[in-house]
Amino acid sequence: MRIALAQVNPTVGDLEGNARLILDWTDRARERGADLVCFPELAITGYPPEDLVLKPSFVRDNLAQLERIAKAVKDIAVIVGFVDQEGDIFNAAALVCDGEVKTVYHKVFLPNYGVFDEKRYFAPGHAAPIVDFGGARLGLSVCEDVWFPAGPLAWEADHGAQVLININGSPYHYGKRAPREAMIGGRAADYGAYIAWVNTVGGQDELVFDGNSVVFDPRGKVIARAASFDEELLVCDVPTGPPHRPTEKLRREAEAAEGLELEVSELDVPAPSVGAKPPLERRLATPLEGAAEIYAAVVLGTRDYMHKQGFQKAVIGMSGGADSALTAAIACDALGPENVIGVRMTSRYTSTESVEDAGMTAEYLGMQLMDFSIEPPHEAFEKIVSPVFAGTKPGVAEENVQPRIRSTILHALSNKFGYIVLSTGNKSELATGYGTLYGDIAGGYAVLKDITKTTVYELCRYRNTLGPAIPERVITKPPSAELKPGQKDTDSLPPYEQLDPILIGYIEDDLSPEELVSNGHDPKVVARVIQLVDRSEYKRRQAPPGVKITPRAFGRDRRMPIVNRYSPNGGRPG
């Protein structure tokens, strides 16, 4: 049997466009001689559709598109994700061929952690259809169902399913692919079945999906893999003979799955007759790892956030520092340098080196660069507030006037010409509140929102391996906001090599102060960092969305109350 995994990039809510996408890729699969093509989870609606599912008209329209797809499908079978309605609402997979929907599977396990909120929308399924398809017995499942060893896949395999199809919308974070593949391969070996695992690809708001669709044989060996972060039709031949089946392990898992009360149904669907097929060359894409993986994720997330909303051009404040340089490089790679406008906005505190570095970055990348001086409005604001500020010591209030002026210029360009403002702050700054509300924090999209400062430097060096982009001095000079004479980030924050491991431990791993100290961090630094993080929640709530690349990103992942008197340091935060 020839199976195609359509690793496609649908758009949430574009029901007609997604249906066209599905039919187009179905035609491609048919041309490749596939008997069956599998599309990702909720491919018709896009994933995740969130509260669109609560609109009855949305559910009806998505069902109409499923019917449209079914009527158009000929000489091939299609498995596609959609929202089903049978009294309750279900996250579902349909098998269609010969002009009709043959059977439907409802997702059993509904994730409700991290970025997932599926119990808000869907009811769990209780049916396990097994399809006899051209001599092979197929079992269907959706995403989370494969993560449970005593789950629907074990039940289907125990009832004779030889090929287990699992359709997914599995969001990316760095380092996720390898353990995910190890888990899926383990399931294939435990059940003695082939597993065809198809994932979506692309960006949706703060999420990005990495693709990396894969097929495992009954011994848990990868026999086909699609690319990372690219659309692809992965085609693989799967033998239809009886597989090796480790019956004892499967029996134990299937017995445990009895508690799910899944009702097995049997369905015979003749496979299309497509004639003789030339042998396939095995496709085993090399997955991206490390900095290359993170960089590709952020480029894809940025590109899709803009293009799916209809933005063509982006504007970026170019300070001459690493954050704005990396943001510019990502934007140029995502959109093309002709669609990126950099803006230098010098003040009395801007160094000659910063001016030169911003200019050299723009030259390397081939992007447009505009220049403004913020001195006239800066002086005007000083004059306006001087009667009230008289007799006080200059401090943060005076400094923050400057980034707010710069933000006003960027957003004026955005309003006038339809650009989107890409803010340049990183996760280390956002975590500690080291940014100006309505100043450098403001923007339409925060490209580096989930990237710590130390990772910013790592990505800068990686990007330079692809071609000149970021001057070496930008990477090596001490970072500074340049809002007062001689200012350095270390005036307000611990050095980033000390700060970032504490932030990762506290934010991503939920470590206590005692655990952080036991890991070798200075107790005073730990207490200070936790205080900065906890009292900056109100700023983060007002930050723009940005690409999620860590297991615990601000926004969809980590949701803390703004009004909050708990502090692990003891007493009130801040």
Asked if residues 16 and 52 have their Cβ atoms less than 8 Å apart, the reply is: no
Contacts of 179 (CB under 8 A, 6+ apart): none
Please check whether residue 370 is in contact with residue 358, taking contact to mean a CB–CB distance below 8 angstroms: no
DSSP 345: E
484-to-212, 356, 491, 553 alpha-carbon distances in Å: 47, 19, 11, 31
H or E element in which residue 422 lies: strand 420-423
Active site residue 236: no
Torsion of CA 398, 401, 402, 408, to 10 degrees: 180
6: helix, strand or coil: strand
**For residue 448, what are the contacts with CB-CB under 8 A and spacing of at least 6?**
298, 323, 326, 327, 424, 425, 426, 427, 456, 546
CB 220 within 8 A of CB 183: no
Q: In Å, how far from its chain's centre is CA 537?
A: 22
Tell me the C-alpha distance between 255 and 249, whole Å: 10
Report the distance separating Cα 484 and Cα 89, nearest Å: 57
What is the Cα–Cα distance from 483 to 470, expressed in whole angstroms?
23
Name the catalytic one among 38, 97, 107, 453.
Answer: 107
Alpha-carbon span 60 to 42, nearest angstrom: 14
Question: String of b and e for 367-395 (b: at least 16 CB within 10 Å)?
Answer: bebeebebeebbeebeeeeeeeeeeeeee
Q: Cβ distance 509 to 519 under 8 Å?
A: no
**Cβ pair 129, 265 in contact under 8 A:** yes
Number of neighbours of residue 44 by Cβ within 10 angstroms = 29
Annotated catalytic residue within 97, 143, 236, 460: 143
Catalytic residue among 38, 41, 313, 449: 41
Structure tokens at 52: 């669109």
How many angstroms separate the Cα of 87 from the Cα of each of 23, 90, 349?
28, 9, 65
Contact 203, 12 (CB under 8 A): no
Cα separation of 292 and 410, whole Å? 30
Active site residue 515: no
Identify the three-state secondary structure at position 315: strand
Q: Are 335 and 303 in contact (CB under 8 A)?
A: yes
Q: Half-sphere exposure of 425 toward its Cβ, with a 13 Å CA cutoff?
A: 31
332 is catalytic: no
Q: Residue 240 has which token pair?
A: 């239809």
User: DSSP letters of 146-211?
Assistant: GG-TTSHHHHHHHTT-SEEEEEE--B--TT-HHHHHHHHHHHHHHHTSEEEEEE-EEEETTEEEEB
Which residues are the active-site residues?
41, 107, 143
